[in-house]
């Protein structure tokens, strides 16, 4: 194991709230869908406890409102509580006022439930790019200390490839912590988790994180979702093939790979890895 401490993060949302299914599962159906996020997140807490790992949980306000005990459990077990907004609307689909209201609502809700300050925010689907950098102004004004909302890659749904690959100061009182990439030639290769972690062979992910840690002398930031360890979630047959492929690819391998990842590297909360340095 190398000596670098990386940041482990979880985006706490349910399988029916992902952007890939937004055209087939309307928001008016959310309250009638079988909810699995609490059970899956509790399982993740047990995995982290077994590996003595602390992480940052970017909690969706919609979930927190319905499962306040889950919010309290995350904090009581020593993890960092952060905001994923309230409604899981992409920043690109909101007006500036709507975005402001959403992130303020989520921060207040999480702090009221947990009794702790919420320092971090992550935009749904990494939907902050060069066309809406005003979002950083709103995140700063809402009282957050850092954002982890930029993914410096090319992707059909998100991406800001021109952005810095490492932590940068985007406002006077706000840091942006981009999801990790590996520079190969003139291109950034995504290595920060999610569907890419399920797509790549584990040996590649391990090599890539090691490369950033040792050759670039930098910590990485990794993310995944509770639904990614859930092989029994209801299947969305009406979604397009691309969305289904991305969502269901190698779900059965995710927990095993995650356990390897927790054993092969040192992990901690975002605030302790990045803010304290």
pLDDT in tens, 224-262: 999 999 999 999 999 999 999 999 999 999 999 999 999
Dihedral sign, Cα of residue 256, residue 68, residue 125, residue 103: negative
Which pLDDT belongs to residue 223? 98
Count up the domains in the chain and report the number: 1
pLDDT digits (tens, 9 = 90+) for 137-174: 999 999 999 999 999 987 766 768 899 999 999 999 99
Got the DSSP string for 113-155?
HH-S---EE--GGG---TT-THHHHHHHHTT-SEE-----S--
The 10 Å Cβ neighbour count of residue 50 is 10
CA 125 to chain CA mean position, Å: 8
Q: Given a cut of 80, is residue 217 above it in pLDDT?
A: yes
175 by DSSP, 3-state: which? strand
Structural domain for 48, as ranges: 5-275
Three-state SS string over 209-237 comes to HHHHHHHCCCCCEEEECHHHHCCCCCCCC
Question: Can you give the CATH number for the domain in which 177 is found?
Answer: 3.20.20.370
Q: Given a cut of 70, is residue 132 above it in pLDDT?
A: yes
pLDDT digits (tens, 9 = 90+) for 41-58: 999 999 999 999 999 999
Phi and psi angles of residue 78, each rounded to the nearest 5 degrees, phi first: 90, 10
**Tokens 């969502």 identify what position?**
247
DSSP conformational letter for 193: B
CB 38 within 8 A of CB 70: yes
Q: Given a cut of 90, is residue 94 above it in pLDDT?
A: yes
CA pair distance 193, 178, nearest whole angstrom: 12
* pTM passes above 0.95: yes
């Amino acid at each position: 194991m190398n000596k670098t401490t990386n940041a482990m993060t979880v985006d706490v949302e349910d399988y029916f709230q992902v952007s890939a299914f937004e055209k087939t599962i309307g928001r008016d159906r959310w309250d009638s869908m079988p909810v699995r996020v609490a059970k899956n997140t509790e399982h993740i807490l047990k995995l982290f406890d077994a590996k003595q790992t602390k992480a940052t949980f970017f909690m969706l306000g919609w979930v927190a409102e319905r499962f306040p005990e889950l919010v309290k459990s995350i904090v009581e077990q020593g993890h960092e509580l952060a905001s994923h907004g309230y409604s899981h609307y992409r920043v690109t689909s909101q007006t500036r006022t709507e975005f402001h209201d959403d992130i303020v609502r989520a921060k207040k809700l999480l702090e009221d439930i947990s009794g702790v300050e919420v320092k971090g925010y992550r935009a749904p689907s990494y939907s902050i790019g060069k066309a809406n950098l005003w979002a950083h102004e709103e995140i700063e004004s809402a009282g957050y200390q850092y954002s982890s909302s930029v993914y410096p890659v090319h992707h059909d749904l998100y991406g800001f490839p021109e952005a810095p690959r490492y932590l940068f100061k985007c406002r006077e009182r706000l840091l942006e912590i981009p999801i990790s990439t590996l520079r190969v030639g003139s291109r950034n290769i995504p290595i920060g988790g999610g569907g890419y972690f399920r797509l790549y062979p584990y040996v590649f992910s391990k090599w890539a994180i090691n490369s950033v840690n040792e050759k670039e002398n930098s910590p990485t930031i990794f993310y995944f979702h509770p639904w990614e360890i859930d092989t029994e979630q209801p299947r969305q047959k009406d979604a397009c093939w691309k969305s289904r492929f991305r969502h269901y690819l190698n779900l059965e391998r995710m927990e095993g790979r995650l356990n390897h990842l927790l054993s092969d590297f040192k992990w901690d909360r975002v605030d302790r890895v990045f803010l304290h340095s």
